[in-house]
Amino acid sequence: MDVKPVRSKSNNEKQTARHKRQKTYFTSSEKNMIINVYEHVKGTWPADEYPYKTKLNEKTAAVCGIGIASVYRILKEYATHERVTSPVLTKKRPTFSEKIDADDKSVHSHYMRGELPTLKKILQAVNDDDNLPNFKKSTFHKILKHLKFRNVRLKGTNALVENNDMVLWRLNYLKTIKVYRNQNRNIFYINEAVLNIGNSDPKCYMDTSTHTRLISNEGAGPSTKNTTSRSKGLVILHIGSKTGFLEAAEHISELKTQGDPHESIDANNFENWFEQNLAKLGEGSVVVMNAAPYNTRRSEKTPSIAWTKGDIQEWLLHKEINFDQTDVKVELLKRVRDVKKDFQSYAVDELARKYKVDILRLPPYHGELNPGELVWSDVKDHLEITDTSFTFEQIKSLLQASIRNVSPDKWQSCITHVTHVEDFFYNKLDVLIDNTMDTFGVNVSDTDSDTESCSSSTDESLLKYTE
């Protein structure tokens, strides 16, 4: 019998000696497997040989590929309690993804103090943090670029500032939501969360920060906490407002792949779920959501270089756009680019318009503007999952119960907090940044090309997510 359960080890173990053996941890399912192997070995032991317990344990350990001490320990636990459980490990330290979000705030805090944030200062702060890995300067520069920061030359110093498109997107969002609040519109927030039930943490790990400024292990891009292949993963979508979670609106599915939850939610599923809940919102409502692949599917495709010349001409004819029959493909595509913004829309936005609901998309990496992320941390606090062998339906039931425990007062409190953050961004942050930069003086000749490139991408990004 060839049964070799994979052994689970604590994430927070440290190698303190070169040859020191690390303690091995087993989940309840692995322990039950080992017990079954032991019973099989005992039941098939040769009739002419006495089954000494030591021999049985040695054989079980050899079959499972584990230490004999582990077999003794598991059998003793079963004999004492008549059941086995997964280990309750020490509280995990904050993950890199959870901690790195503070670094964009570190950039902002320098401006608030009237100081220039430089790559060297921010890199030093990260490398001095024991909870974070050390980075080389070149690697960290790429990370900041991904987070939409760039360098400008200020009196001989390269200072970090946000790209123009990010600043404009944030300002557009803040101005728009302020108008909606003044109109007393009902504002709903869509939030996604990932729940991982893994061997390293018998309770749970919930990541609600996929749209804050996170860094993956590769140093580029949003990432969730790494999980083992045997972890159970759930993706949760929900919608809420100052009156609490929308009743029976949660969408809970299994995480298809480790990593980005966007791969587990496709546009069709999201649109079906969204339309089912639109009627509950009421006319004139506003829905705030992140800009994700599943909620930014175009209602129709626009011509690209991959299209045939005939198909491009047909598209232009259908849109009543004039062109010359002698135009080559490049000229036809130029005509498409000139007018496509008038014909581009999202399927989700089209659905919302049917119910007279407006969509407002958050700027990337600004999860602090979504109160749903604060609410989900409260959901996690209510969630009690003590056995990783729970089925999907059992976990789903516990999760739904935890969602019901979140009160409207909690939602209102989180929304109030977010409005204060909005006020800070809108009334203070960018003004302080401007004042600091003016104090030190911008060398325009050094930043013209960078500014121009950022501005050229602004229209496209705003068109893409803030229609």
Judgement on whether residues 280 and 319 belong to the same structural domain of the protein:
no
Contact 261, 134 (CB under 8 A): no
pLDDT of amino acid 416: 95
Domain count, the chain: 4
Predicted structure pTM score: 0.64
Structural domain including 305 reads: 300-344
Structure confidence at residue 175 as a pLDDT band (50, 70, 90): very high
Q: If you average pLDDT over every residue of the chain, what do you get?
A: 75
Tell me: do 190 and 254 sit in the same domain.
yes
Judge whether 436 lies within some domain: no
Using CA atoms of 262, 266, 272, 278 in order, give the dihedral in degrees to the nearest 10. 30
Name, of 146-155, 296-305, 383-392, the range with top average pLDDT: 296-305
> Which is more confidently placed, 117 or 90?
117
Separation CA 215–CA 388 (nearest Å): 27
Instruction: Kindly state whether residues 338 and 246 are assigned to the same domain.
Output: no
Mean pLDDT within 75-99:
65
- Mean pLDDT, range 172-189, rounded to an integer: 96
Q: Report whether pLDDT(462) > 50.
A: no
3-state secondary structure 420-464: HHHHHHHHHHHHHHHHHHHHHCCCHHHHHHHHHHHHHHHHHHHHH
Across 207-211, 215-219, 283-287, 342-346, least confident range? 215-219
In terms of domains, do 144 and 263 share one?
Answer: no
Question: Are 244 and 137 within one domain?
Answer: no
Q: Are residues 269 and 373 in the same domain?
A: yes
- CATH at 125: 1.10.10
Residue 453 has pLDDT above 60, yes or no: no
In a domain, 449, yes or no: no
Do 304 and 401 have their domain in common? no
Claim to verify: residue 378 and residue 265 sit in the same structural domain? yes
Verify that 403 and 260 share a domain, yes or no.
Answer: yes
333/393 same-domain check? no
Query: What is d(CA 448, CA 453) in angstroms, rounded to the nearest whole number?
Result: 9
